[in-house]
Structure 1
Amino acid sequence: MTTRDQGAFGGRAGGCLVIGGSGAIGRSVAVRLAELGGDVTVTYAGNSAAAEETALAVKEVGRDGVAVHLDLGDAFRVREVVGEAVARHGGLHTVVLAASPTNFQGWTSTIPPEQYLEQLRVDSGGTYTVISAALPSLRESRGSVVVVSTVANRRFVLRDVLSSGPKAANEAVVRAVAAEEGRYGVRANAVGVGILDEGMTQVLIDHGDIRPESLEVARGRIPLGTFGKARDIAATVGFLVSDEARYVTGQWIDVDGGYSL
C-alpha cells in the first residue's frame, strides 16, 4: 500500500489536537485537518461558543470533533487534556499549537517585567508543556508538531515584544524537538503568520492598539500587496503535518505575502 493510499497521515493511528480552536487560525486549521482525514480535539481558553462552532465544522466535514476548555498556564490541565485526546482518538499523530494568548501592544520600556514573565509562562511555557505531554504518543505514531508563530521574529514589529518574545522561545523548542526526536520519527516545524485581515489583527484594531491607517502603511510593505487569510496559514499547516512533508523538520515557513523580506 502506498502513502497516497494510506491518506494524508500515512495511515497513522490516532487523531489531531489543535490548541486554540476558537480563533480564526485555529478553526481553519481544524477544518483543514478534518479535510485531510483527521479527527480533531480543539481547545479554547475563554470563547466556548466559538470553539463549539469549530468542532461542529469538523463534524460537518465528516470527522469526529470535540471542544474542551484549556488554560495553557495550568500544567496539570494540559496533561489531562492531552490524555483525554489520546483516549478519545486512540492516539495522537498531529499536534498544532495555534493559540495566541491575549496580548496587547506596548513599548518595551513601558511593559512591567511581571507582565512579560506571565506572557512567557502562558504562551511559551504552555507550548512546552503541551509538546512534552504529547511526545510519548507522537513517538508511537511517528507524528508531527506544528507551532504557529509570527513573522515578527524575522522583521520586528514595534511594540510587539509580548508576542514576538515568547514565540521566539517557541521556535527554539521546535528546533530542539526536531533535532532530538527525529530518531523516533517525530517531526516539528513552525509557521510564521504575517498580517491577516481577521483574527488577532481585528482584536488589536478593536482594542485600539492598531490604527487602520497603520495597516495601510504595512500593506505597502507587502510584496504581494494584500493581507492574508487564516486559510492561508491552515493550508501550510496541512502540508507540514501530512506525509507530503515527511522529510521536512526543524523548519519555519513564513506565510506573509513576502512581508518578512
Structure 2
Amino acid sequence: MSADAFGGRAGGCLVVGGSGAIGRAVAIRLAELGAAVTVTYAGNAAAAEETAALVRESGVDSTAVRLDLGDPGQVRSVVAEAVSRHGGLHTVVLAASPTNFQAWASRLPPEQYAEQLRIDAGGTFAVISAALPALREARGSVVVVSTVANRRFVLRDVLSSGPKAANEAVVKAVAAEEGRYGVRANAVGVGILDEGMTQVLVDRGDILPEHLEVALGRIPLASFGKARDIAAAVGFLVSDEARYVTGQWIDVDGGYSL
C-alpha cells in the first residue's frame, strides 16, 4: 500500500468503539497508514485511553471521547469535535458492538430487541448521518464492522444479527446515494474470533467451550480469527487501494459463511 494511503485527503478518522478489541486494532491500523484518529467509548474509558495512547505511538494525533450511541445530539457533537480536531474527516469506522447476550428469539422480550435496535442500528445511522457533510467534502469513506451471522445464522444470536442486518441496508443506501459526492461505504462481516466479544460471551457462560469446538469444525481454515484480521480488511477498504469499491460486504471469517 502506498505511503499516502488516503490520497492526500485532509482530516482524520473516527473509530466508534475504540475500547474493544476490534476497534483498537482498527485504530492502530489507521494510524499505521498515517491518519490521526479519534476513538470513542461507551463505558470503558481506561481501555479507550489505552487505545489512543497506542495510536499516538505511531506518531499521529489521537484522543478518546465518550459517546452514547443512543443520544443523537451527543453523536452530532462528537462528530463535530472530531472534524474540528483533525481539520476534517475522511474516514469513519463503526466498530462498536453493544453488549448483548445469546437468546432464543422465542424468549426475547420485544422491548430488549427494540433497545438493541435503537443503540446499534439507530446509533450507526446517527453517526453516518452526522459525518456525511465532512465525508462529502473529503470524498471519504465509511466502513461498518458487522457480523458473519447475516450470511450464516448463528443460533441465539438475533440481538446481534438483527440490528446489523439493518446496518447492512444503511451501507447499501449510503453507497448508492452518496457515490455522486465521492463517498464510499462498505462493511466487514466478522467471523468467530478468539478475543473481543466472543471472549466476553464465553466468560459469561453464554457460549460454552463445546459450542466453540463445533463452530471450529465448520471453519475451512480451521482456526479462529484475530481482531487484526478485521483491521486489515478495514484498512484496505478505507484506503485509496479500494477507491473503486463501494456497497460491498466482505466476510473475514476463515470461510465459516460458506
Q: TM over 0.5: same fold?
A: yes
Q: 1:144 aligns with which of 136, 141, 149?
A: 141
Name the counterpart of 1:25: 22
Contact 1:4 / 1:10 at 8 angstroms: preserved in 2? no
CA RMSD of aligned residues (A): 0.8
Q: 1:245 aligns with which of 237, 242, 256?
A: 242
Q: Does 1:41 align with 2:44?
A: no
CA–CA separation in structure 2 for the residues paired with 1:35 and 1:231: 12
Instruction: State the Cα distance separating 1:4 from its structure 2 match.
Output: 4.1
> 1:230–1:4: structure 2 CA closer, same or farther, 3 Å change rule?
closer
Task: State how 1:75-224 maps to structure 2 within 5 Å.
Answer: 75-224=72-221
Question: In structure 2, the residue corresponding to 1:21 is in which secondary structure?
Answer: coil
Instruction: State the Cα distance separating 1:239 from its structure 2 match.
Output: 0.1
CA–CA separation in structure 2 for the residues paired with 1:224 and 1:256: 9
Instruction: State the Cα distance separating 1:213 from its structure 2 match.
Output: 1.1
Q: Deviations for 1:157-197, whole angstroms, at most 9, x for unmatched residues? A: 00000000000000000000000000000000000000000
CA–CA separation in structure 2 for the residues paired with 1:122 and 1:52: 22
Look up the equivalent residue of 1:136 and give its one-letter code: P
Q: Does 1:69 align with 2:66?
A: yes
Question: In structure 2, the residue corresponding to 1:104 is in which secondary structure?
Answer: coil
CA–CA separation in structure 2 for the residues paired with 1:4 and 1:230: 23
CA–CA separation in structure 2 for the residues paired with 1:208 and 1:234: 27
CA–CA separation in structure 1 for the residues paired with 2:177 and 2:71: 26
Look up the equivalent residue of 1:205 and give its one-letter code: V
CA–CA separation in structure 2 for the residues paired with 1:71 and 1:214: 32
Contact 1:240 / 1:248 at 8 angstroms: preserved in 2? yes
CA–CA separation in structure 2 for the residues paired with 1:98 and 1:176: 19
CA–CA separation in structure 1 for the residues paired with 2:137 and 2:234: 21
- Alignment gaps of 5+ in structure 2: none
Q: Deviations for 1:10-47, whole angstroms, at most 9, x for unmatched residues? A: 00000000000000000000000000010000000010
- Alignment gaps of 5+ in structure 1: none
Identity, in percent, stands at 83
Q: Deviations for 1:177-220, whole angstroms, at most 9, x for unmatched residues? A: 00000000000000000000000000000111000111011000
Question: In structure 2, the residue corresponding to 1:215 is in which secondary structure?
Answer: helix
Q: TM-score with structure 2 length normalisation?
A: 0.99
Look up the equivalent residue of 2:155 and give its one-letter code: L
Which consecutive aligned stretches of 4+ in structure 1 deviate over 2 angstroms post-superposition?
Answer: none
